[in-house]
Each structure stands twice: as C-alpha cells, then as structure tokens.
Amino acid sequence: MPARRGGYGAAMRVLVTGGAGFIGSHVADLLAAQGHQLVVLDALLPQAHGADVPGWTAEHEFVRGDVRDPQVLQRLLPGVDAVCHQAAMVGHGVDPFDAPDFTTHNDLGTAVLLAEMHRAGIGRLVLAGSMVVYGEGRYDCAEHGVVRPGPRTQRDVDAGVFEPRCPRCGRELTSGLVPEDAPLDPRSTYAATKLAQEHLASAWARQTGGSVWSLRYHNVYGARMPFGTPYAGVASIFRSSLERGEAPRVMEDGRQRRDFVHVSDVAAANLAALTTPVDGFAAANVCSGEPHTVGDLASELARAMGGPAPEVVGGARPGDVRHVVADPAFARERLGFAARTSFADGVAAFATDPLRSPIG
C-alpha cells in the first residue's frame, strides 16, 4: 500500500520559514531536490538581506511575509504537512538595545507560528536551534571532575587568562565534548531567545501531542552567508577583512575551540529530522565532529584567499564563551546524520563562495 503524502518517508508539503536566508535557502533547495513540495516564507530582514529578493527563491513558491503575522500563516499553513522553522534574528548582537528585536523576531515569532500550526492541525516541527543555549561547553577539573564554570572575570581577560576556572578550587579546566543533556546556560540575548524557542516548542509538543526536533547548530559557514554586518558569523567577518586586504582580527589568544559545520551538512540534518519520527521534543547537536580553533579558521581562510596572516588582539566581548565543542553521537544514532564536508574542503570553498551584502 503506497505511503500517503505527508507520512514519514513520503513526499511532504513543507513550510520553510526564513527560507530565503543563509541556512533556510539551502534547506529549501535540498528538500525540493528530494521531491518535497515547498512554501518559502521570509521577511527579508535588512540585517541579513540585500535590496533584492535573492535569485534562488525563484526555484520555489516564495512569499514575502512575517512569521509574526497570523494572517500570513493562516493563508499558508492549510495543506502543509510539516514546518521547518529557520526564521530568526541571528548573531551576537551589538548592545542591549537589540533585545526587543531579538525577542520579538525569535520568541514571539515562534509562539505565533506554534499557535497557527495548532489551528491548522499540523503536528511536525523542525526548529533551528543553536549551540549558544549551552553557554560554556563541558569542562573537567583534575580534582573535581565535571564542573560548570561561572563567567570569566574581566580581570582574567585583561591579564590574558582566557581558560575558565573551576568554581571550587580555581584551577584552569580542560574542555570536552558537549552532549545534548548538558546544563543550559545562555550568556547573550540571542542565546536566551534561542533557549526560549526550545521551551515554547517543548510546551507545544506536550500540549498538542506534536513532535519537535530542535537542531542545535554549531558554527555554520558556507555560501550565501551575509557579510559586512555585526550580526554575521565569525567566518563571514574574517572573509570581509581579507577582502579589504586586512588581517583577520582574532580575539583572545585564538585558541578558543568551536565546531565549524558546513551549511550543506546543516541542510542534510534538517532533511533527516523532517523524515525521522520523534515522540514529543528532542534536541540534537548539528556539528562536524571535527573541532578547530578560531585561530585555525582565520589562518586557513587567509591562506585560501592569499591574504595577510591573522592578528591576535586579545580581549573578549561580553557574553563570549571560551570553548563549545559538540558531541555528535546522538545525531548520528537517532537521525543517522554525520557531516560529510571536511574543514579543509569547506574553508577552501568558502574563500570564493558567493556571499550577500545586507542593506542595514
């Protein structure tokens, strides 16, 4: 008996919010290539988009609109089988005046979407989560085992001491892999809104019997990133400097570790989540499993672009964390997801990938 449309493993009609953006557009392209029908919704926020509608949206049914507008959703959701929610205001932010924008776009937008999904009888959501919900990563103390460090002091940062200390004995700690059940400790406004999205989605799943995968993206890079904006990711900021003939400026000592994951792998993780059943709410790290330092990224990109070597400038922004390196085991076991793009190949491609210049 053939699978009905919308069943797991069958062709679906999917609403992709934020589907004209960096990650959302790659998700939309992959879903379409796999035979799914799409509706792409995007507000085209000026922090991330240029003046024109991106050309890649021409391949899909595209609606310019705001996920916070119930009337837009009421028009688009009937007949949809699942929602892939990528729409968000992203980035570290500039100052506390960003907080209302982060909160309304990310949390109010998610709440409106969940309410309208319930109205339309849609029970499947894939949420663009983030590793920022962890705050600092996992750390071990030689004497006290796994511990949770507090925020680094300005005195230590000013003195060039960047490694977190054990809250019990003051020793510097050793970083390890962060599993999904690690304590959640957001340390920026953006991070707080991403955790609130997860709480809203989890409550919705309990109330409605729906299913949610929250994909906790680690440091995503690749084609179509916005550049020339303080809201961009570090890979984009480094490339912008190199294109101006300037050395990438690396904060702290450059040895802070991250997991840089290529956007094509992030799209594959979304496809896996849309086609994998889950009871209620579950979160999964989306990472490469190949951690590198921020200094590694700057150096590799400078070599690929033939630019000046990175300049290590010290200091740290408020809310910056030292190490966040993901454990990929749960996503591999439950979603069958493993990244395929190596760091060297991904950064080499990123050196010439087309990016987007925002207008605000």
Structure tokens at 309: 């070597």
In contact, 358 and 280? CB cutoff 8 Å: no
Whole-number Å distance between alpha carbons of 222 and 84: 20
- Residue by residue, pLDDT tens for the chain (360 residues) are 223 346 777 899 999 999 999 999 999 999 999 999 999 999 998 877 877 788 899 999 999 999 999 999 999 999 999 999 999 998 776 678 889 999 999 999 999 999 999 999 999 999 999 999 999 999 999 999 999 988 888 888 999 999 999 999 999 899 999 999 999 999 889 999 999 999 999 999 999 999 999 999 999 999 999 887 766 789 999 999 999 999 999 999 999 999 999 999 999 999 999 999 999 999 999 999 999 999 999 999 999 999 999 999 999 887 788 999 999 999 999 999 999 999 999 999 999 999 987 765
Whole-number Å distance between alpha carbons of 185 and 328: 20
pLDDT at 359: 61
User: 């990438």: which residue's tokens?
Assistant: 248
pLDDT at 51: 72
Residues β-bridged to residue 172: 165
Q: Are strands 138-141 and 145-147 parallel, antiparallel or unpaired?
A: antiparallel
Amino acid in position 299 = S
DSSP-based three-state secondary structure for 350: helix
pLDDT at 334: 97
CB contact burial 95-111 (16+ within 10 A = b; e otherwise): eeebeeebbebbbbbbb
Predicted model pTM: 0.94
pLDDT at 296: 97
Dihedral, CA atoms, 230, 111, 220, 255, nearest 10 degrees?
A: 70
Whole-number Å distance between alpha carbons of 220 and 257: 14
